[in-house]
A and B are shown apart, each in its own frame.
Chain A
Amino acid sequence: MVSVNSMQSPFWLGGLLVMSICGSSLPAVAQSTSTIIPNTATAEFNSPGKPPKSISSNTVKIPVQGGTAALEIIKIGDRASIEPGDAISYRLQIRNTGTATITDLSIKDTLPLGFKFLAKSPVGAIANAAGTPVTNPSPITATVSGSVVTFKYPELQPQQSLIIAYAALTSPDAVRGTGRNSAIAFGLSPSGPVNSNIASHRVLVQAGIVSDCGTLIGRVFEDRNFDGEQQPGEPGIPNAVVILEDGNRIMTDADGLYSLPFVLAGYHTGTLDLTSLPGYTIAPNLYRIDKNSTSRSVRLEPSGMARMNFAVTPTYREGVR
């Protein structure tokens, strides 16, 4: 019902977009069924130091089936991409397109992973059919439960629009989420409950200065008490090779240590290449059965650190399987 064909606007390009979607000018819907409705949208822009400007769209003729109460919801965000730490502002427009009053209107807005609703941010307004603001509207309440924000408004007259704007802050977890936010409105009408469509807005979350990679560290050392841990007096083995499941080949330094930054989060397997350290084999370990393997499996969290240690001991009967 609202078309925003303002992409050519210099304000958009200037990055100073302050956009308000006013109520679209719609003729009153007749009670009769199957009416053709000519529909025109107007977008109005404010930019600093300039008078408000509005643009009307072309007129679209839509056949409308006459009904009782109906809800329609639109959601937009103020940006298409975001980095952790940025705020995004969302704008919801809920309109009663029916002919009956809707009571107990509630709007459920589900934020994507890593988006945090800013409790002080929401503002709201009511416009009547002509697009003029309604004075002294009832207060809108917002409640947050997890990632779901619920707005409540007592009564929406036919052809009235409820406009809610609010902001959300992104945390580093957002990079793991979809960035898609969805909203739905529902209320009660004399003829029964009424639901709106689902409106969604997707924002591309870019890693920015935070990364979702982790760091693998570890050591290869000579285990003298066969406990799998390096104590003083248990020297590190230089130039030992650890191979990861993706083919990455890591070599230990002169102290037998290694670290591998920028490893994608998830499960990783590394194995000690015994041909790189002639004369050694994996040290037996009677404390922990998993340490007897030449492989280690670790779970690496984003920005986390995981360790793969290998204890070795001088050997004999090399290469005999």
Chain B
Amino acid sequence: MKTPKCIYQFSTIQILLLLGLSQSAISQPIPFYKTTVTSNADEIKADNGLTLRESIALINGELKLENLSSAERSQVTPASQASTIGFNLPSGQTQIALKSELPSITIPGTTIDGTTQPGYDATKSATQEINIAIPVVELIPAANVDVLRGLTIVSDRVTIRGLSIHGFSAAHKSTAMTPPADIFISHATPPPSIEKQKMPANFAPYYPDDIPPKNTIIENNWLGLSPIGKTDRPSAFGVSVFHGENTTIRRNRIEFHDGSAIITSVAVTNTDVSENIIVNNGLAGMPDAIRLEGNVDRSRIHGNLMCGNDGAGVYLFKPEGTVKISDNQIRYNGRRLRRAAIYLTGSGHEVTDNQISHQSGSGVVVGAYPQSDRNIITNNRFDALEGMSIDLNTQENTYAQAWQTGDGPNPKRKGSYRHLETGNAAIDSPEFTTDEFTNASVITGTAEPNSQIALYKVQSNPEDDRGPLSQPIGQATANGDGKFTTQLTGLVKGDRISATATDLTKGTSEPAINAAIGTWNDVKISRNPTAIPACTTPPNPPATVPPPILPVKLKAPTRIHFALDQDFISPVSATILNRIATVLNQYPGVSIELEGHTDPRANNDYNQALGMRRATNARNYLLRQGISASRMTLRSLGETKRIAKGDSKIDYARDRRVEIIYRDSDGFELTVEESDLQLE
């Protein structure tokens, strides 16, 4: 008699348990809403206006609709498919100052759309190069508050559109504050949170259930700069795709970041970066405009303008997978650190149809380690490089410079081992049969058997003996013996040509040694007319472009001074820099080089770094005055070029300086100012 009773009791509990479970499982799903932000305050409070923070909390389900005031509820309508946040901020109150980080966006399909703000004009652009509408709604950290991230995305199909997000950064504390960004994409509980990972995994950075968000779209935003194109507080990074797949970043202006404009980290496959304006980034941190790391398989970078950044345009640091880099304009980069415009490590990447110029390093470098081959580099145009157009690192050259600007022309391959220790499997560059072709009708040479030969016209840089590969002008195929013959058109006596070989199993070679059409005596040693070193141009530039005729005497200061062991700009030096900025604003064709110097005390390495900090700070001051980074190159000479000979306090004070060297500045009267000397 006892047993059935027991069974009966047990089943009651079971039913109760089942009921409880089903109740939580069928619990009300978080409803979708369409909200309109009408207040630029940053608080959750039942009042007259709906704030962005309230909108995100409501959509995330962290805030209940009934907790809103009736005025706020009137801005919320239910939606069927996905949630949307629009804006209708009063005119003049379009700046949302965050007192702390916004909640992460946790509901898939959410859209934050700044283009809904009245006054947004999708047809008006501030730049001619790529049309990106000027945003109206501005997201910034509140005054005197450090906020690490602007928007944090942890769910699928999130879209961020038409916002200006800038100023998100934080002072390092006892531990570094990281990873920051204007827009941060990651799995839920992104670092530095460790609540998920109580103990670190020993097999992979993250567990399989740390699922990266997919199909994020970041478009038509201005990151790092306000709607008037400035910022007082540089953001740390632009878009940090820390852990996110199928991310699309298109038509954004990304400027003035301390670190990279776009940086990836863990599993970031199929990232598409297109038609962005990426200017003046890497000012005090990771210097590269786009830095790809982690698993970046099938990512594409196309149609972007990268200009005036402090390091490389695109740097692939030991990534997994293959990347296509095409149709980008990469110019005036490597301002602070000499780096290649595109640095590749890994295999199977494609670099095609890019225009790469004015780089303080090589054009495209393929690293020797880890083994990198099958990288196809074709149909690009190079100009005004401080290195080779294509540089394959060889003989396992992994010294610091090889990781930045490459290692120079390779010797011809000897033995098979060289395949393993050289980028692109040590494919040899083609060799022309002669260095002087009588005419362009028969161009002959040798190359790797059965490889594709791309012939290029060489312009400018008369001192380079390999390239630059200025303009693709023809194709040829090497036969089984490695011989090729082709006919070129459109060349005249005095033109120079070069070539690359491409073998799909190895990759593309370095440029061939140049050959001349006619004789070398016919080659005219002339430089291209100096282009105006600007990254972007405003639409409808003032019709009266200042004539390039300079006044006979225009006073331009050449020196600013610093206090002992200091790198900050003193108020007096600032006035001198203001005058330099005035001169530079007046003459947009003039570019400058900033050389940092120190007095001879302390050791060489320390002084080298101190000189660099001084030059960087002077440059950053000028940047804030609106001078384009593309016009300023940084160098440090440390204590190697003292100006004074003695060792008195005044001598040392004169040594502690940044010298400004003007390029294309005939007619300037250069003056030396010493009003800002700072004695110790």
Contacts and interface: CB of A to CB of B under 8 A. Distances in A.
B266 interface: yes
A314 B174 contact: no
A245 interface: no
Given A315-B285, A316-B236, A275 B369 contact: no
A73 B318 CA distance: 73
Contacts of A239: 398-400, 403
A285 interface: yes
A282 B200 contact: no
Contact of B311 (A226, A231, A279): A279
A98 to B, nearest CB: 72
Given A238-B398, A284-B192, A317-B258, A233 B284 contact: no
Given A226-B192, A286-B194, A313 B284 contact: no
Given A317-B169, A318-B258, A231 B285 contact: no
A133 interface: no
Nearest to B401: A239
Contacts of A163: none
B200 A235 contact: no
Interface residues of A, number: 37
Interface in B178-197: 178-180, 191-192, 194, 197
Interface string A52-77: 00000000000000000000000000
A313 B203 CA distance: 19
B203 A232 contact: yes
B545 interface: no
A227 interface: yes
B200 A229 contact: yes
Contact of B294 (A224, A226, A228, A254): A224
B284 A318 contact: yes
B609 interface: yes
A222 interface: yes
B636 to A, nearest CB: 11
A284 B175 contact: yes
Nearest to B336: A278
Interface string B254-266: 0001111001011
Given A238-B398, A316-B236, A317-B169, A225 B200 contact: yes
A286 to B, nearest CB: 5
Contacts of B492: none
A319 B284 contact: yes
B317 interface: yes
A281 interface: yes
B376 interface: no
A206 B257 CA distance: 60
B191 A226 contact: yes
Contacts of A282: 175-176
A227 B400 contact: no
Contact of A283 (B171, B176, B194): B176
Contacts, number: 129
A313 B176 contact: yes
A317 B285 contact: yes
A276 B337 CA distance: 12
B178 A224 contact: no
Contact of A222 (B204, B293, B311): B293
Contacts of A238: 369, 398, 400, 403
Interface in A270-321: 275-276, 278-287, 292, 313-320
B286 interface: yes
B172 interface: yes
A239 B177 CA distance: 24
Interface residues of B, number: 57
B169 A316 contact: yes
A78 interface: no
Interface in A236-292: 238-239, 253-254, 275-276, 278-287, 292
B369 A283 contact: no
Contacts of B318: 235
Interface core residue of A226, A286, A316, A317 (most chain B CB under 10 Å): A316
B200 A316 contact: no
Given A254-B369, A286-B192, A231 B201 contact: yes
A86 interface: no
A279 B200 contact: no
Nearest to B210: A225
Nearest to B267: A233
Contacts of B202: 229, 231
Given A224-B266, A225-B206, A313-B178, A233 B294 contact: yes
A278 B192 CA distance: 22
B176 A227 contact: no
Interface in A197-246: 222, 224-229, 231-235, 238-239
B396 A254 contact: yes
Contacts of B398: 238-239, 253-254
Contacts of A315: 176, 178, 259, 285-286
B362 to A, nearest CB: 18
A279 B175 contact: no
B562 to A, nearest CB: 15
Given A225-B206, A227-B200, A317 B286 contact: no
B408 interface: no
Interface core residue of A222, A232, A239, A254 (most chain B CB under 10 Å): A254
A231 B602 CA distance: 40
Contacts of A235: 293, 317-318
Contacts of A253: 398
A279 B285 contact: yes
B291 interface: yes
Interface core residue of A231, A276, A318, A320 (most chain B CB under 10 Å): A318
A315 B311 CA distance: 14
Contact of A287 (B194, B206, B234, B399): B194
B172 A314 contact: no
Interface in B236-290: 236-237, 257-260, 263, 265-266, 282, 284-288
Contact of B203 (A222, A226, A231, A279): A231
Contacts of A313: 176, 178-179
Contact of B197 (A227, A233, A320): A227
A319 B194 CA distance: 27
Contacts of A318: 258, 284-285
Nearest to B396: A254
Nearest to B315: A279
B370 interface: yes
B286 A279 contact: yes
Interface in B362-392: 369-370
B205 interface: yes
Contacts of B609: 275
A80 B282 CA distance: 67
A290 to B, nearest CB: 11
Given A239-B398, A316-B284, 17 more contacts: A225-B206, A231-B201, A231-B203, A232-B203, A235-B318, A238-B400, A239-B403, A279-B259, A279-B288, A280-B286, A284-B175, A284-B176, A313-B178, A314-B285, A315-B178, A316-B237, A320-B284
The 4 nearest A-B residue pairs measured at CB = A227-B200, A316-B258, A279-B286, A316-B285
30 contacts: A222-B293, A224-B205, A224-B265, A225-B191, A226-B191, A227-B200, A231-B205, A232-B203, A233-B204, A238-B403, A239-B398, A239-B400, A239-B403, A275-B605, A278-B287, A279-B259, A284-B175, A285-B175, A313-B176, A313-B179, A314-B237, A314-B291, A316-B169, A316-B286, A317-B169, A317-B171, A317-B258, A318-B284, A319-B616, A320-B171
Interface of A: 222, 224-229, 231-235, 238-239, 253-254, 275-276, 278-287, 292, 313-320
